[in-house]
C-alpha cells in the first residue's frame, strides 16, 4: 500500500518535487511553504480548521447540471478565460472547480465539487510522508505541508466522477496537485480527458498524459517531448484565447506607451528601479504597471515617485485588453511576452533581480521571440530605438509558438479546437 500511495503522490505532487520548484526565490517559496517546520505545522493546522472543517459547513448549490456533462475544470481566473469559448459553444459543458478554490472574478460562475469527505483520508498522511521521504529524501519533510494539503483529492474526485459520470473532463492546467489528482481519478474511472494549453509551458512540467491535448504550437510539443513520453492524441491549434484580438494588432510606428508586467518571482527593489529609470529618461512615455493576478503584494509604493504611473488590475482586465493599450512591454519570465508579440507589441526581456529561477525560462530569447536587455542601460538603448521606430512585422516571430499564424486558421483557433473536440468526443464519449 505504501508503494502505491507513494507513486500516486509523486505524480500528484510532480511540480512540487522538482529541482525547479526548490529553486524558487526564498520570499516566494516561503509563501507557498514556510521554511520553518513550526510554521509549516501552523499552516497545516490552519488548513485543517479553515478548509477541511470549514468545508463541512459550506453549502454547495450548483446552478447547472453536472450529470453527464462535459466538465471544464479550472483552478484560476486564467484557466476560466482560456476555456470560456468551449462553454459558450457547447451547451453540454459546465465549469467546475474544487469546493474552496479561488477563481478570481469568476468565483460565483463555477460549479463546485464537494471536498467534505477529504477529511476521511488523512489517515494516509503518515504513510505518504514516509514513502515520499524514502523516495525523495529531505525534500518530502521540507514540503510536508504541501503533501498534507494534497491528501484526499484523488478519493473525493473519484467519488464525484462515479456519482456524476461526466462525459469528459477538459483541463487548462496540468501541474496543480488537485488537477493531477482529478486527472488520475478520471483515468481510473474511465472518463476521457482533454487538455487545452492556457499559457506557455516549460521542460519542468509533468509528462503530457491526457487522451487529447490541444497545444498552441511546435514550441509546446517540443518541450513536452522533453518532459517524458507523450500520451494520447496531440493537435496544434494556435491560441484560442487570442482570436478576438489578432485583428487589432498594434500598428503604431513608434513606442509611446510601455507596459511593465511582473510576477511573484520579481524583486520589488528592481521593479522600483526600472520604473524610476524609465520614467526619468523617457518622461513622455505613458507607463502602465501590471502584476500577475496571483501576485498580491502591495505595489502602491511605486506611485510615490511617479504619481502618473497607471495600473492594470489583472482581476478586472484580461491580458489582451492590457496589451492593446501598449506599444511595448518590459517583463521577465512570463508568457505575456508571447501574447504581446502576437499583437505586434515590442517586447523586451528584462530580469527584475537575480532570481534563482532559470534564465529565459520559456526560451523566448533563445528562439528570437523577444530581445534581451541585460542592464538598465541596455533597456534604455532599446526603448530609445523603439521610440523612433517599431517594426510592423514583430508578430511573425511567434510562428514557432502559434501553429495557426500565417495560415488560413489564423484568428480561428477556437473554431479549430472546437472541431477537434467535437470529433474526439463523438469517438470516445
- Give per-residue pLDDT as tens, 377-399: 999 999 999 999 999 999 999 99
Name residues whose C-beta falls within 8 Å of residue 140's C-beta, 6 or more positions apart in sequence: 129, 132, 133, 147
CA atoms within 13 A of residue 149's CA, in its CB half-sphere: 23
Last residue of one domain, picked from the residues 213, 239, 265 = 239
On whether both 121 and 16 belong to a single domain, the answer is yes
Lowest mean per-residue pLDDT among 181-185, 298-302, 422-426: 298-302
The Cα 416–Cα 215 span in angstroms is: 12
Query: What pTM does this model have?
Result: 0.91
Q: Give the pLDDT of residue 355.
A: 61
Mean pLDDT (whole number) for 212-229? 96
Three cell numbers, residue 388: 523612433
Three cell numbers, residue 286: 505613458
* 104 in any annotated domain: yes
Q: If 0-12 CB within 10 Å is exposed, 13-18 middle and 19+ buried, where does residue 372 land?
A: middle
E-strand stretches of 314-398: 328-331, 346-349, 371-372
Pairing between β-strand 328-331 and β-strand 286-291 as defined by DSSP bridges? unpaired
The Cα 161–Cα 96 span in angstroms is: 12
On whether both 232 and 254 belong to a single domain, the answer is no
* 98 in any annotated domain: yes
Strand partners, 230: none
Q: Give the pLDDT of residue 54.
A: 87
Q: What is the CATH number of the domain that holds 268?
A: 3.40.50.2000
The Cα 348–Cα 166 span in angstroms is: 44
Domain holding 282, by residue range, is: 244-400
The Cα 197–Cα 79 span in angstroms is: 9
Contact (CB, 8 A) for 175 and 15: yes
Q: What is the CATH number of the domain that holds 220?
A: 3.40.50.11720
* 409 in any annotated domain: no
**Above 90 in pLDDT, residue 50?**
no
On whether both 235 and 266 belong to a single domain, the answer is no
Per residue in 59-96, pLDDT (tens digit) is 898 999 999 999 999 999 889 999 999 999 999 999 99
pLDDT grade for 146, boundaries at 50, 70 and 90? very high
On whether both 73 and 98 belong to a single domain, the answer is yes
Q: Give the pLDDT of residue 354.
A: 65
On whether both 124 and 260 belong to a single domain, the answer is no
* 312 in any annotated domain: yes
**Above 90 in pLDDT, residue 256?**
yes
Domain tally, the chain: 2
* 419 in any annotated domain: no
* 426 in any annotated domain: no
Give the percent of the chain with pLDDT over 70.
Answer: 99
Report which DSSP code applies to 373: -
The Cα 248–Cα 368 span in angstroms is: 23
Q: If 0-12 CB within 10 Å is exposed, 13-18 middle and 19+ buried, where does residue 298 land?
A: exposed
On whether both 147 and 62 belong to a single domain, the answer is yes
CA angle, corner 428, sides to 422 and 429, nearest 5? 80
* 303 in any annotated domain: yes
Strand partners, 258: 287, 328
Amino acid at each position: 500500500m505504501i508503494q502505491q500511495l507513494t507513486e500516486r503522490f509523486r505524480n500528484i505532487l510532480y511540480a512540487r518535487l522538482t529541482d525547479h520548484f526548490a529553486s524558487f526565490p526564498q520570499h516566494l517559496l516561503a509563501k507557498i511553504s514556510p521554511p520553518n517546520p513550526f510554521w509549516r505545522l501552523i499552516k497545516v493546522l490552519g488548513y485543517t480548521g479553515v478548509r477541511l472543517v470549514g468545508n463541512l459547513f459550506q453549502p454547495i448549490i450548483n446552478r447547472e447540471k453536472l450529470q453527464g456533462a462535459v466538465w471544464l475544470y479550472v483552478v484560476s481566473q486564467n484557466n476560466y478565460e482560456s476555456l470560456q469559448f468551449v462553454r459558450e459553444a457547447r451547451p453540454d459543458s459546465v465549469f467546475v472547480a474544487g469546493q474552496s478554490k479561488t477563481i478570481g472574478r469568476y468565483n460565483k460562475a463555477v460549479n463546485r465539487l464537494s471536498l467534505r469527505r477529504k477529511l476521511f483520508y488523512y489517515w494516509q498522511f503518515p504513510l505518504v510522508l514516509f514513502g515520499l521521504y524514502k523516495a525523495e529524501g529531505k525534500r518530502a519533510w521540507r514540503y510536508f505541508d504541501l503533501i498534507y494539503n494534497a491528501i484526499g483529492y484523488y478519493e473525493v474526485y473519484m467519488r464525484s466522477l462515479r456519482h456524476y459520470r461526466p462525459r469528459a473532463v477538459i483541463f487548462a492546467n496540468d501541474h496543480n496537485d488537485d488537477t493531477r489528482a482529478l486527472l488520475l481519478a478520471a483515468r481510473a474511472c474511465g472518463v476521457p480527458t482533454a487538455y487545452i494549453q492556457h499559457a506557455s509551458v516549460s521542460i519542468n512540467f509533468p509528462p503530457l498524459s491526457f487522451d487529447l491535448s490541444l497545444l498552441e504550437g511546435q514550441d509546446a510539443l517540443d518541450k513536452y517531448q522533453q518532459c517524458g513520453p507523450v500520451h494520447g492524441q496531440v493537435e496544434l491549434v494556435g491560441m484560442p484565447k487570442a482570436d478576438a484580438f489578432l485583428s487589432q494588432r498594434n500598428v503604431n510606428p513608434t513606442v509611446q506607451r510601455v507596459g511593465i508586467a511582473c510576477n511573484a518571482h520579481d524583486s520589488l527593489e528592481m521593479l522600483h528601479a526600472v520604473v524610476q529609470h524609465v520614467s526619468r529618461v523617457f518622461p513622455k512615455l505613458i507607463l502602465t504597471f501590471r502584476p500577475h493576478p496571483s501576485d498580491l503584494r502591495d505595489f502602491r509604493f511605486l506611485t510615490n515617485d511617479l504619481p502618473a504611473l497607471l495600473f492594470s488590475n489583472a482581476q478586472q482586465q484580461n491580458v489582451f485588453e492590457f496589451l492593446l493599450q501598449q506599444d511595448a512591454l518590459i517583463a521577465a519570465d512570463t508568457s505575456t511576452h508571447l501574447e504581446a508579440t502576437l499583437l505586434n507589441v515590442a517586447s523586451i526581456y528584462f530580469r527584475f533581480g537575480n532570481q534563482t529561477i532559470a534564465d529565459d525560462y520559456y526560451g523566448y530569447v533563445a528562439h528570437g521571440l523577444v530581445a534581451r536587455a541585460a542592464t538598465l542601460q541596455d533597456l534604455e538603448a532599446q526603448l530609445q530605438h523603439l521610440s523612433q521606430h517599431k517594426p510592423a512585422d514583430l508578430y511573425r516571430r511567434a510562428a514557432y509558438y502559434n501553429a495557426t499564424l500565417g495560415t488560413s486558421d489564423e484568428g480561428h483557433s477556437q473554431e479549430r479546437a472546437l472541431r477537434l473536440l467535437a470529433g474526439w468526443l463523438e469517438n470516445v464519449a
